A and B are shown apart, each in its own frame.
Chain A
Amino acid sequence: MSIEEVSELASPAPVYGGAEPLLEVSDLRVRFDAKGRRVNAVNGLSYHVHAGRMLAIIGESGSGKSVSSRALMGLLPPTARISGSARFLGTDLLSLSEREMRRHRGADLAMVFQDPTRSLNPTMRIGTQITEAVRAHGDVDKRAAFDRAMELLQLVRLPAPERRFYEYPHQLSGGMRQRVMIAIALAADPKLLIADEATTALDVTTQAQVMELLLELQERLGTAIIMISHDLGLAASYAHDVIVMYAGRAVEYAPASTLFSHVRMPYTRALLGAIPRLERTPHSLLPVTPGQPPDLTALPPGCPFAPRCSRAQDDCHAEPPPFAEHEPGHWWACWHPCEVGGPAEEGGR
């Protein structure tokens, strides 16, 4: 079955609650054509985010989680071919021109990136990098921009903001830099904040502090947050809803509490099984999902996880399972889902 045929199985995006979602992504596809190779990075991704909620998008490297969110921000290189729609505040972000997109970027929707060391301009003062974001939208004079930057630095609880304002990124610790990145992202009071592996480069203590800060800011400002991570544990602790991605599509989607108590997709179960736990026998080997992540230039006709799945049967290799709401609020794409309450290690082979 070819990619084009798969698109016919595009599922309607799941909806929670009655309110109009803030962001409604449907059938998002991104591919890169370069030197005769076609990389299918995102293959029909659909989801909703509501105001004030935190959605975690979980997946391993190359699962399309980062690419899909950069596509929303219009930050992909021109070689990317994007299709589908992303309705945000009544406009389809994917249909906007670069100039129109710029009005939304940093204003309604903002992004925090993985590596705060590389994501800040090393040759510019912290303060200048924040005021630049403040002044990018709206006519703000220098004085007002300075005041706003101070306010933001206090909001993200950076110690000694008056001094830090005039310092350079290399004079700050990793955690402080990420606070600055969050301050930049919040400069124009965005309605949606995308945190792309925002805590991955930080140590565990700092990671927790930054996540707490994001949660607190969300409560105070009502910002919707999309948290992109490979860390299921982090998602379980902080997110309201979780999407698990594999090979550029969603494979399981549920409120965090449901997902972790009722895992249905074998891939999610394999991911959960790979998290070290205290109750595990010390020095025992962690279960490993065999095989490699799928080759995005040549996806198999059936379920992309089938080659690595212990539950795979003939039909899995023949046709991809639809991503559908099998239980209220719980979506998955699997022909032979796991039984609820089965052993956590069952997923991988």
Chain B
Amino acid sequence: MTTTEPVTDDAREAAPGAVARLVHSPSVRLIARRLVAAVPIVLGVSILTFIVLSLIPGDAAQLLLGPEATPEQIAAMHRQMGLDQPPVQRYLGWLGGALTGDLGNSLVSGQPVTGELGSRLAVTGELVGLAFVLSLGLAIPVALLAAYKPNRLFDRVSMLVSITGLAVANYVIALLLVLVFAVQFAFFPAIGFVPIGQGIGENLRSMLLPAVSIAFPLFCFYTRFLRGDLVDQLRGEDYIVTARAKGIGPGQVLLRHAFRNSSFGLLTVVGLNLGTLIGATVIIEQIFALPGIGQLLLQAINTRDFVVVQACVVVFAVVAVLANLVTDLLYAVLDPRIRYGNR
């Protein structure tokens, strides 16, 4: 009779290869599940956009050829653009291309949309990233300082600034910034974009004013939100009393205990913002003449360049889905209750 080693749970967990471990990892499963769920969302958005674009009046061929164009010329142009085909066939054609990474050619310029989107996304991505770094980088210390001594001078002043900032639209801030820093003092260019290739300093100089315009309302919102959450934690939570009962100082109670727990609320808000913020860039890119995706979208709508509009909207949808996914993953990384929850 052969005796077999009893296989313990530990042994079984240690045995399998890298692939099996990857498949069983909760975060990999979460990513897979969410990516699968994202497919119908992006598909739905693309169909809806296609329907809306087919319904709105206006015609790229008409706009391109001008008011003097004859019906024959327009019909020929339609054939050239592929607009003479029935909508379902056009959509399926577009979808087939999109799945292979080809989002079609612009009706107006004839250039491939995919390449254009790539360079534009880089600009918008830099703008949004910079705005997040600025707003969070300032909001967190300000909120911590305000919550350290609630209702004292610093708290009151920061709340006043936040409320004011929330009441002012970002394009108004943009125009004020241009007026002061570009026109009066000429520290920064009023419009235009310098690619990173021409020097990071010059690039940041051209990006700073637009980024600040987007960041300021965000900063105000995050400051208010985080300060409120911190004060709630400090006043209402039992674990704060435990921490204080240990005899540790108020700074440590704030940073190690309250902030750690408040950061989850902040993370949720930032994640939600990330998805919608890309829309806010449309106006700001227009004001500062930044060659971002928002500017591209606006131009495409004006010229009824359906192919480009469609591509932009799908990109926005993908970004929103990915932003939510990243937020959920960050939660799983940061919050032990979720990390160990579904075992």
Contact = CB atoms under 8 A, between A and B. Distances in A.
Interface of A: 73, 75, 77, 102-107, 110-111, 113, 115, 118-125, 132-133, 136-137, 168, 170-171, 181, 184-185, 187-188
B256 A75 contact: no
Interface string B65-105: 00000000000000000000000000000000000000000
B243 interface: yes
Contact of A102 (B247, B334, B337, B341): B247
Given A75-B241, A168-B337, A121 B247 contact: no
Contacts of A187: 246
Contact of A118 (B237, B245, B256): B237
B191 to A, nearest CB: 45
A122 B337 contact: yes
18 contacts: A73-B245, A75-B244, A102-B249, A106-B247, A118-B237, A118-B239, A119-B238, A120-B239, A121-B257, A123-B337, A124-B257, A132-B243, A136-B247, A170-B336, A170-B340, A170-B341, A181-B242, A184-B246
B235 A77 contact: yes
Contacts of A185: 245
Given A132-B256, A168-B340, A119 B247 contact: no
Interface string B217-255: 000000000000000000101110111111111000000
Contacts of B336: 122-123, 125, 168, 170
B27 interface: no
Contacts of A137: 247
Contacts of B341: 170
Given A121-B260, A122-B261, A115 B247 contact: no
B59 interface: no
A121 B244 CA distance: 12
Nearest to A98: B250
A181 B243 CA distance: 11
B267 to A, nearest CB: 12
Given A170-B337, A170-B340, A119 B239 contact: yes
B239 A133 contact: no
A168 B343 CA distance: 14
A325 to B, nearest CB: 33
Contacts of A105: 244-247
A218 B4 CA distance: 50
B245 A121 contact: no
Interface string B259-279: 011000000000000000000
Nearest to B248: A136
Nearest first, the 6 A-B pairs at minimum CB distance are A106-B247, A118-B238, A105-B247, A106-B246, A168-B336, A133-B246
A73 B242 CA distance: 11
A340 to B, nearest CB: 41
A124 B260 contact: yes
